[in-house]
Amino acid sequence: MDGIVLGFFLLAAFMGGFASGLAGFAMGFVVSAVWLHLITPAQTTALVVGYSLWTQGYGVWKLRHSLSWRNVAPFIIGGTAGVPIGTLLLTYIDPAHMRSGVGLLLIVYGIYGLAQPALKPFHVGVAADGTVGFLNGILCGLTGLPGFIITVWCQLRGWTKDVQRAVFQPVMLAASVATGIALSFTSVITAEIVKLYFLGLPAMLAGLWVGFKLYGKLDDAAFRKVMLVLLVVAGFALVAAQGWPILRPGGA
């Protein structure tokens, strides 16, 4: 990497950490919007998974007193079953197309949420939570993005900001661990990825710390708006990143 490219790479790492610290998710969406123009999709996926271990692990530790493993368990069990399926689907489904589809869904949901008052919370059983976890795991294994389905689901449940993060952060951490294990059995992890990982780690951790500092200043209503805005931004970022293949390594 030359100086300019490295600068953009590190800036994306910082902003990804900041988004994760502030809202508990979106790191993968934010960095993908930039990194897919600088490095390959496989490298991006591996780095997102690797950094998620830090962002979600730190979030779980900070919110450890709010954790309810009874609430979290169905999502983790379902996600653990879904991740290997998503990894297997990599040979049949183009992750780029999947990311574009996810991006469109994020835009629609985020704009709808911002234009409408908060939906009335609804109550469901363990089976529904497990199914959501399973679908979230499939998406994580396929794209390396563990946050979309579970964060939207937590919003629909109408939980407070601390309860939401105490559910979706450990779920995302478990999905990232499972995806990392699955990727370790492939040829995706290379010396170049390890080098990039350690280059971007300090910037990502700095952003994570700053984001968590600001999180403490948000009430539930503000947190909901931040989440929705980040979902819309992430959606546009994913669509744009997948829409400009000529800018990516190996693009025609």
Sign of CA pseudo-dihedral 190, 19, 161, 235: negative
116-150 residue pLDDT tens: 666 677 778 889 999 999 998 888 777 777 777 88
- CB proximity list for 153: less than 8 A, separation 6 or greater: 129, 132, 136, 168
Provide CB contacts within 8 A for 245, sequence distance 6+.
96, 251, 252
Distance between CA atoms of residues 223 and 68, nearest Å: 20
pLDDT of residue 248 exceeding 70: no
Q: At residue 251, does pLDDT exceed 60?
A: no
Task: Using alpha carbons, list the distances in angstroms from residue 51 to 45, 102, 113, 123, 211.
Answer: 10, 21, 29, 33, 15
pLDDT digits (tens, 9 = 90+) for 60-76: 888 788 788 888 899 99
Q: Render the chain in DSSP notation, one character per residue.
A: --HHHHHHHHHHHHHHHHHHHHHS--HHHHHHHHHTTTS-HHHHHHHHHHHHHHHHHHHHHHTGGG--HHHHHHHHHHHHHHHHHHHHHTTTS-HHHHHHHHHHHHHHHHHHHHHSPPPPP----HHHHHHHHHHHHHHHHHHS--SHHHHHHHHHTT--HHHHHHHHHHHHHHHHHHHHHHHHTSS---HHHHHHHHHHHHHHHHHHHHHHHHHTT--HHHHHHHHHHHHHHHHHHHHHHHH-GGGSTT--
pLDDT for the residue 148: 74
Question: What's the token pair of residue 167?
Answer: 């559910």
pLDDT tens-place string over residues 208-223: 999 888 887 888 888 8
Q: What whole-number distance in Å separates Cα of residue 59 and Cα of residue 88?
A: 29
Determine the average pLDDT of the residues in 25-54.
Answer: 81
Q: How many CB atoms lie within 10 A of CB 11?
A: 15
Per-residue pLDDT, averaged over 84-90, amounts to 79
In the block, which residue shows the tokens 């790492």? Answer: 13
Cα angle 56-65-17, degrees, rounded to a multiple of 5: 25
Q: What per-residue confidence (pLDDT) applies to 246?
A: 38
What is the pLDDT at residue 199?
A: 93
What pLDDT score was predicted for residue 250? 45
Contact, 90 vs 240, CB < 8 A?
no
Q: What are the structural domain ranges in the chain?
A: 3-247
